Amino acid sequence: MAQWQTTCLGDACQFINGLWKGDVPPLVRVGVIRNTNFAKDGSLDDSDIAYLDVEAKKYAKRRLQFGDLILEKSGGGPKQPVGRVILFDKTEGDYSFSNFTAAIRINDPLTLDHSYLHRYLHWLYLSGVTEGMQSHSTGIRNLNGDAYKAINVSYPPLLEQRRIVAILDEAFDAIATAKANTEKNLLNAVEVFNQQHDMVFADHAGSPKRFRLGELATFRNGVNFTKQSNGQAVQIIGVKDFQKHFWAPLGDLDTVTLDGDLSPIDAVSEGDILTVRSNGNPELIGRCMVVGSLTEPTTHSGFTIRISLDRTKAAPTYVCQFLRSRAVRRKLIDGGNGLNIKSLNQGMLAEIAVPLPPLDAQHKIVAKIEALATVTHELADIATCKVAALDELKKSLLHQAFTGKLTAKTTDKQVEAVA
């Protein structure tokens, strides 16, 4: 690294603040890059660029040029610090950038390559450098511009910068391919599970022993309460607790105060099935899970319905698995009424035809599904670990690149080992 130079970002580049819609004519319609156009990998996502009328005078000073970097200076969140950087690599069209961002333009492109600087600043962001430069303002995080401009940038001669970028680009393309294949394999595993899950119940679709769910169970809508309620404090199972759980997460429930005491008819019991009755997201309608062993009084929210089965005829785990099959889920979702908020009612649940083999056969079917689920979960864990390893490899390669330790040979070996 003897030939490397170091300079602060504010000396190497100029910073240009963004714009937004204009009021003073003449106006010009341009594509405006916003925070939503920042992809996770640091690239520009141009799938939903907003085209807005902006003031021609302001746009003239803020027209993006090929090689400009765009910095997110406001936004972010608890799990996403502000300070992301993307590279503007378009050669055609009229584009600018929003007032939540700033453009970074290199003063001397013959000394500092824009792709190199982009990778460098993306590495600093992934390393958490900008996390210490952000402040909070009414829920929006703002980047300390002076601190960001004071960042030191180390870089070798221009040809070496381009060699480093070429190695990184090739490695990152291979990593992206490996991630895509891993995610595809996971989706395939999930699809195989869903198909097998559906087939288990399709095998019984022609069984003469089919019962309306209303013949097998009683139903009860959940309780309602307000902030002014001052009765008994109890655990409650709400819509947020469903997610993809098969068993209700009883160890992580909210506690609420009811109007008066909890009525026995509103208390959930072990073996009850709960389903989402009402929600703004129609895909949540009809989600089901089983209640396990309880240690304290627990109820369920008014946005859910409790299904209490006749255990002499139907096993809760079997019925819940059946209700989670894709054909039944689609029927429940499509049958929900309401425009903005979809709702499911007890009458619709009561009419669902349940294929019902003997109890011992029901338990065998559940065991088969659980075995399939275990394999799918193991594959998901493997895929998650692999994706995490690939993300860590990217950070490692960036670290090697900007500390003078990157070579094509060692990079290929590292990618091959993880991919």
Prediction pTM value: 0.74
Answer for the pair 318, 328: CB distance below 8 angstroms, yes or no: no
Q: What is the CA radius of gyration of the chain?
A: 29
Vertex 356, ends 354 and 362: CA angle to 5°? 120
φ, ψ for residue 398, nearest 5 deg: -65, -40
CATH domain 5-155 topology: Adenine-n6-DNA-methyltransferase TaqI; Chain A, domain 2 (3.90.220)
Return the HEC string of 159-186.
HHHHHHHHHHHHHHHHHHHHHHHHHHHH
Least confident stretch, 251-260, 300-309, 334-343? 334-343
The residue among 181, 173, 100, 179 whose CA lies nearest residue 142 is 100
Domain map (residue ranges) of the chain: 5-155, 205-356
CATH number attached to the domain at 205-356: 3.90.220.20
pLDDT in tens, 194-204: 888 888 887 65
pLDDT per position as a tens digit, 45-102: 999 999 999 999 999 999 999 999 999 999 877 778 899 999 999 999 999 999 999 9
Task: Please list the alpha-helical segments (H only) found in 203-233.
Answer: 213-216
Helices 158-202 and 326-335: crossing angle in degrees, nearest 10, is 90
Is a pLDDT exceeding 70 seen at residue 340? Answer: no
Alpha-helix runs per DSSP H in 203-312: 213-216
5-155 shares its CATH topology with 205-356 = yes
Looking at the predicted structure, is the pLDDT value of residue 138 above 70? no
35 secondary structure, DSSP code: G
What band does 36 get if pLDDT is binned at 50, 70 and 90? very high
CA distance 121 to 117: 6
